[in-house]
Amino acid sequence: MSSANRGYAGVPAWIYVVAALGGLLVLLPLGAMLARVNWGRFIPLITSESSLTALWLSLRTSAASTILCVVLGVPLALVLARGSFPGQRVLRSLVLLPLVLPPVVGGIALLYTFGRQGLLGRSLEFAGIQIAFSTTAVVLAQTFVALPFLVVSLEGALRTAGNRYEAVAATLGARPTTVLRRVTVPLVLPGLASGAVLSFARSLGEFGATLTFAGSLQGVTRTLPLEIYLQRETDADAAVALSLVLVLVAVIVVGLSRRPSRSTNLGAAP
Amino acid sequence: MRFFPRGARSLILVIALAGVLTAGLTGCGSAGSPPGNSSTTAVGSEGLSGNLTVFAAASLKLPFTKLADEFEARNPGSSVVLSFAGSSDLATQITQGAPADVVATADTRNMAKLADASLLDGAPTNFATNVLTIAVPPGNPASIRSFNDLARPGTKVVVCASQVPCGAAADAVEQAVGTTLKPVSEESSVTDVLGKVTSGEADAGLVYVTDVKGAGDRVVGVPFAEAGSAVTTYPIASVATSRNKELASAFIALVTGAEGAKVLAEAGFGAPEVPSHG
């Protein structure tokens, strides 16, 4: 690293100043929150029954929505990256919509789909399935907002990898499903992993859609972000302590996602 | 990231658009302050001028919007800016230095927090009360007739969480009635409770009578006798850091006076229990 920096840096010095400002914009608020942590009460606050219940619920629902994202997102990314059909560009834009939509809008949309009075809600209720106010609703909300992260990461990895190896495998007589299983998926596995980690992170942070669509009940629908929002009403120390827990989980998750994505780039370099 | 516009032209367009929008932001900031803002100029007994920022509990939106219009009509040189939020948000914002002149909360607890931090100018005045009621979707699909009906198995009831004022009131009513509810959701604001009822997701919700009145025909209120066991009191006060004290006290006088009482009663609020004191 140091030997590389000794030559031409390529970045004017003033860029570093502006970049430092950008970095501060992110780091300073996190530092300010860290300064507000009541360390004496920290352990009791984060190990209280309601906190642990919320954390456990968050981890379980985020894991479930990550699995859903992989199951639904991998075919979607394949179709978008490799397929060719009318309306492909439109479909890509629409699938990515939850990335830019305010989550509360997603919540309202889900309500009018799976809610009691919703598009599918009536038939579901007739079949004995009630989604509103259930943990299923939390998972649906999280999957809705997290799916684009997986699709974007994986589609990018698929395009970077190219289809040369797949073409070769096909000329050697492999059927499409075999090519997918033996060539495509192993090739983009790092991209898929980082996409899955990002989906997990987004699910963990989901707030607006859950609040609008699923409600808030301890152990059923009150995930960690909802618990923080509620604690803030009466106990700022508890809200700060729980926020720090989410920051720590986020740091771990981002750390995990950075490593495989770097190896993807190296693998795709030649 | 292929889904983002690639060409330099789109980039320039995006930056130009952002620039225009940003200019609008700052422009709005300066246009919002008419000449001679921070100083109050008295023009006769009624006819104060200047800017007044009022922080009020979300449930006061309808009556306070009306009263602010009335205030501006009475004082043509004045401009009232209203900011509505949950009471604890209001208290936090003022504690962190938000530029409010008047604050009206939906509970005495958050007002006491501000008083304890010496952020108020004088003692707060109680100006209104509110009580809980049962809100049901039109047609009352679960046939809720009394508070005890809410505890029937299978009834989807939504309440506020105990941490927020409407939830504390709901707890008090439950104790008074001697019925323990098993809600399907404990929301962090009364607006969220109302939303779950208007969308038909819940069979019933515990909200304030003023919420039912404000929601029009989207919900129906089912009054219950024990509602009186938890009366929420609304205090109002001027903020210590206000630079427009005269205007602030004039606005408080309007709210606590006859005109305020009329507008608040129309919105469903009750009269304060304790007689007003300056």
Question: At A231, is the secondary structure helix, strand, or coil?
Answer: helix
Number of domains in chain A: 1
Residue in chain B closest to A152 (alpha carbons) equals B1
What is the residue-averaged pLDDT of chain A? Answer: 88
Mean pLDDT confidence for B89-99? 90
- Specify the pLDDT at position B6: 56
Tell me: pLDDT of B31 over 50.
no
What residues contact residue A38 under an 8 Å CB cut-off, 6+ apart? A45, A237, A240, A241
Dihedral through CA A234, CA A240, CA A242, CA A244, nearest 10?
180
Which pLDDT tens digit goes with each residue over A72-94?
Answer: 999 999 999 988 889 888 998 89
B253 membership: H or E segment, kind and range = helix B245-256
What residues contact residue A94 under an 8 Å CB cut-off, 6+ apart? none
DSSP string, A129-148: ---TTSHHHHHHHHHHHHHH
Does any domain span residue A264? Answer: no
Tell me: pLDDT of B3 over 70.
no
Which pLDDT tens digit goes with each residue over B214-223?
Answer: 888 999 999 9
pLDDT class of A204 with cuts at 50, 70, 90: very high
Does any domain span residue A80? Answer: yes
Does any domain span residue A190? Answer: yes
Contact indicator for A166, A223 with CB cutoff of 8 Å = no
Domain that holds residue A122: 41-259
Does any domain span residue A5? Answer: no
Does any domain span residue A45? Answer: yes
What is the residue-averaged pLDDT of chain B? Answer: 86
Q: Across the interface, which of B1, B163, B200 has its CB nearest the CB of A230?
A: B163
Contact between A93 and B3 using a beta-carbon 8 Å cutoff: yes
Tell me: pLDDT of B246 over 60.
yes
Side-chain-facing half-sphere of A109: CA atoms under 13 Å: 14
Residue A226, min C-alpha distance to chain B (Å):
9
Q: Across the interface, which of B2, B164, B184 has its CB nearest the CB of A215?
A: B184
Which pLDDT tens digit goes with each residue over B111-167?
Answer: 999 999 999 998 999 999 999 999 999 999 999 999 999 999 989 999 999 988 889
Mean pLDDT confidence for B41-67? 81
- Specify the pLDDT at position A6: 58
- Specify the pLDDT at position B274: 56
E-state strands within A2-132: none
A233: chain B residues, CB-CB within 8 Å: 86, 88, 161, 163-164, 188
B188: chain A residues, CB-CB within 8 Å: 211, 216, 226, 229-230, 233
Distance, in Å, from the CA atom of A133 to the CA atom of A121, rounded to the nearest integer, reads 13
Tell me: pLDDT of B11 over 90.
no
pLDDT class of B33 with cuts at 50, 70, 90: very low
Contact between A232 and B88 using a beta-carbon 8 Å cutoff: yes
| Single-letter residue type at A248 | L
Tell me: pLDDT of A38 over 50.
yes
Q: Which of B117, B80, B85, B114 is CA-nearest to residue B237?
A: B114
Residue B205 CA, distance from chain mean position: 19
Does any domain span residue A266? Answer: no
Does any domain span residue A116? Answer: yes
Instruction: Output the domain CATH number for residue A209.
Output: 1.10.3720.10
Tell me the residue length of chain A: 270
Does any domain span residue A34? Answer: no
Distance, in Å, from the CA atom of B220 to the CA atom of B136, rounded to the nearest integer, reads 5
Residue in chain B closest to A89 (alpha carbons) equals B3
Residue B259, min C-alpha distance to chain A (Å):
32
Contact between A117 and B196 using a beta-carbon 8 Å cutoff: no
Q: Which of B86, B119, B54, B95 is CA-nearest to residue B249?
A: B54
Tell me what percent of the residues of chain B surpass a pLDDT of 70.
87
pLDDT class of B15 with cuts at 50, 70, 90: confident
Which pLDDT tens digit goes with each residue over A101-131?
Answer: 998 899 999 998 998 888 888 888 888 888 8
Tell me: pLDDT of B206 over 90.
yes
Q: Across the interface, which of A96, A216, A230 has its CB nearest the CB of B3?
A: A96
